[in-house]
Structure 1
Amino acid sequence: MYLSQLWKFSRPHTIIGTSLSVFALYTIAIATTHSPISWLSIGQLIGTWIACLCGNVYIVGLNQLYDVEIDRVNKPDLPLASGKLSIAQGKWIVGVTGILAIAISVILGKWLFATVTLSLAIGTAYSLPPIRFKQYSLLAAICILTVRGCVVNLGLFLHFDRLFTGRESVPPSVWVLTLFILVFTIAIALFKDVPDLEGDRKYQIETFTIVLGKSTVFNFTRWAIATAYLGTIAAGILLPSSINTWFLTISHTGLLGLLWWRSQDIDLEKKESIANFYQFIWKLFFWEYLIFPIACFVY
């Protein structure tokens, strides 16, 4: 019972996204540096994964600790909001995972330490009063896209690149992935508040959904993701020396078509329909961290 609540507390879709990003950047580093897989690098991979997972739980857990009242309206099934985990238990989980994330990253390398500490600092500023950036729609979006879009991709690749080669350089293919995730994360950051309109309005949390309306945010989300796909296809054509252009083009064209087809079924007046589409967006996000390493590896 406790483990199931801990799993909910960790926000599984973010755990999956973090895990895929770690393994994807490890794979891309191997492909771009032509490095062999060794037990040392596998140990580094596992340690990096655990540090990032702990950091992930710290960030989403801290957000829940300071959003209990809001979550009782927007997400009543979350462990703290439902009372299945106590506030004291939540604080222990957040404290332990935060300490573990920093401790492990210190041991494994400077770029991992920089990635973890910067992510935790931004995550803390996002949720913790008096700063609490999540109160302001633009600042909240900047926090999310900075961590998911830039810090994670560039920091983790530099960590693995230094491990494999002793260098600290970012190849064009990783810049393409970073820009894709950056744009995609903007879409996630904007759309994530659409299902939470009721609670955010009640507790005066300024979001783009409240300011612009659900329809505007939904349409912007679709076009932002479409732009990310089209830009990646174009980059793949322009960077044929480091990536499998055909695989990248066909896969992204297919996902773009799937996005547009799936977006026709959403009912913006039904919270369940909105929430389902939000989870679908996360699935597209997951797919990128599977497709891109393959495109680099099978070149």
Structure 2
Amino acid sequence: MSQVSQPGFQASWFYSFWKFSRPHTIIGTSLSVLGLYLIALSLFSNLVQAQATTPILPLLGAWIACLCGNVYIVGLNQLEDVAIDKINKPHLPLASGEFSPATGKLIVAITGVLALLLAWLQGPFLLGMVGMSLAIGTAYSLPPIRLKRFPFWAALCIFSVRGSIVNLGLFLHFNWVLSAGGKTQNSAFLSIPSAVWLLTLFILVFTFAIAIFKDIPDMEGDLLYNIQTFTLKLGKQAVFNLALWVLTVCYVGMILVGSLRLAEVNSLFLVSTHLVALVWMWWQSRQVDLQDKSAIAGFYQFIWKLFFLEYLIFPIACLFA
């Protein structure tokens, strides 16, 4: 290959890898790592003040380990869903032929090993979180278990990882790091404040909505390959409405918590931002045509943007407390 074409080839490969990594999940993972780090700093600032500087390396290390785990999980799913993705998501690298199956397997193997190795080097809580996430992600996609075939178990896999395992595991890891590897204040680093439980509950319920909504634009391929989903069982409109009301419960719950001052957060900021997000969501939902696959996919990406936003809003509410 000539030197002239080499840069173009590299750019094309990295763009394909970016698509392979499923960018919306990469952004979500990155913000969750940053958000839990900021919450740990805000709630245990006394531990940080005892040190000369705020430690950044633990944040970077956890972020890279989680990104590797993310690529492993979404990559394994694509390896097992090539035929389905040719119908539902033909732009993905394996479905389009940009990546060969051998390339996909190599990427998945390398990122899986790196995720576990990096987590092991950084501490027990991060290793536990990454290990559990990879195990559930494997069970979700890989035969003979392949839990994604069953609506209940598929949803449980998604919201248990994104909702509880990631949030609690990351907070415990960062709290452990900030307490000098668990060597200070006895077992204080094992304490999980009400604000973290609140965020965990919010994300847990929120990701249930993501889990059921994601299959609405994929009905054709799921039906052809016998992947049972709530959309196939209940219909587009019912699942769309259910997801909207689940998200509404999330936001109303946050507004009530802020109004009643039930957590260590800035109540005014928490209430106002979640009220705006709730109104924005319903306004956007009124413009969705359920007969237009691109419109449904667009609203799905909008829900992910609300998910991203929460990992910015909530840590700020903690910092302003």
Q: Smaller-chain TM-score range?
A: over 0.9
Shift of 1:163: 1.2
Q: Give CA deviations for 1:157-199 in whole Å, capped at 9, x if unaligned.
A: 0001111133211100000000000110000000000010000
Match of 2:42? 31
- Distance in 2 (CA, whole Å) between partners of 1:244 and 1:39 is 25
Greater Cα shift, 160-169 or 236-245: 236-245
- Distance in 1 (CA, whole Å) between partners of 2:263 and 2:230 is 40
Counterpart amino acid of residue 159 in structure 2 = L
Match of 2:158? 144
Match of 1:230? 252
- Distance in 2 (CA, whole Å) between partners of 1:17 and 1:149 is 12
Match of 1:10? 21
User: Which residue, 154, 162, 180 being the options, matches 2:176?
Assistant: 162
Shift of 1:38: 6.1
- Distance in 2 (CA, whole Å) between partners of 1:208 and 1:102 is 33
Match of 2:68? 54
User: Which residue, 136, 147, 153 being the options, matches 1:133?
Assistant: 147
SS of equivalent to 2:311: helix
User: Which residue, 86, 91, 103 being the options, matches 1:77?
Assistant: 91
Q: Is the 8 A contact 2:236 2:290 kept in 1?
A: yes
User: Which residue, 123, 137, 142 being the options, matches 2:137?
Assistant: 123
Q: What TM-score do you get using the length of structure 1 for normalisation?
A: 0.98
SS of equivalent to 1:100: helix
Q: Give CA deviations for 1:97-151 in whole Å, capped at 9, x if unaligned.
A: 0000000000100000000000000000000000000000000000000000000
- Provide structure 1 residue ranges, at least 5 long, that are not aligned to the other structure: none
- Distance in 2 (CA, whole Å) between partners of 1:29 and 1:177 is 12
SS of equivalent to 1:106: helix
Counterpart amino acid of residue 270 in structure 1 = D
- Distance in 1 (CA, whole Å) between partners of 2:22 and 2:211 is 15
1:252-267 map, 5 Å = 252-267=274-289
Shift of 1:240: 5.4
Residues 1:193 and 1:46: Cα distance change in structure 2 (over 3 Å): same
Are 2:57 and 1:43 equivalent residues in the alignment? Answer: yes
Q: What TM-score do you get using the length of structure 2 for normalisation?
A: 0.91
Aligned residues: percent identity? Answer: 57
Match of 1:19? 30
Are 2:287 and 1:276 equivalent residues in the alignment? Answer: no
SS of equivalent to 1:129: coil
- Distance in 1 (CA, whole Å) between partners of 2:256 and 2:283 is 22
Q: Is the 8 A contact 2:155 2:211 kept in 1?
A: yes
Q: Is the 8 A contact 2:270 2:314 kept in 1?
A: yes
- Distance in 1 (CA, whole Å) between partners of 2:69 and 2:80 is 17
Match of 1:220? 242
- Distance in 2 (CA, whole Å) between partners of 1:45 and 1:7 is 22
- Provide structure 2 residue ranges, at least 5 long, that are not aligned to the other structure: 1-11, 183-188
Greater Cα shift, 31-40 or 155-164: 31-40
- Distance in 1 (CA, whole Å) between partners of 2:54 and 2:35 is 18
Q: Is the 8 A contact 2:176 2:190 kept in 1?
A: yes
Q: Is the 8 A contact 2:149 2:229 kept in 1?
A: yes
- Distance in 1 (CA, whole Å) between partners of 2:291 and 2:24 is 24
1:179-198 map, 5 Å = 179-198=201-220
Q: Give CA deviations for 1:178-227 in whole Å, capped at 9, x if unaligned.
A: 00001100000000000100000010100000000000000000000010
User: Which residue, 210, 213, 223 being the options, matches 2:232?
Assistant: 210
- Distance in 1 (CA, whole Å) between partners of 2:260 and 2:123 is 33
- Distance in 1 (CA, whole Å) between partners of 2:206 and 2:264 is 22
- Distance in 1 (CA, whole Å) between partners of 2:303 and 2:137 is 21
Matched length: 299
Q: Is the 8 A contact 2:194 2:263 kept in 1?
A: no
- Distance in 2 (CA, whole Å) between partners of 1:40 and 1:122 is 33
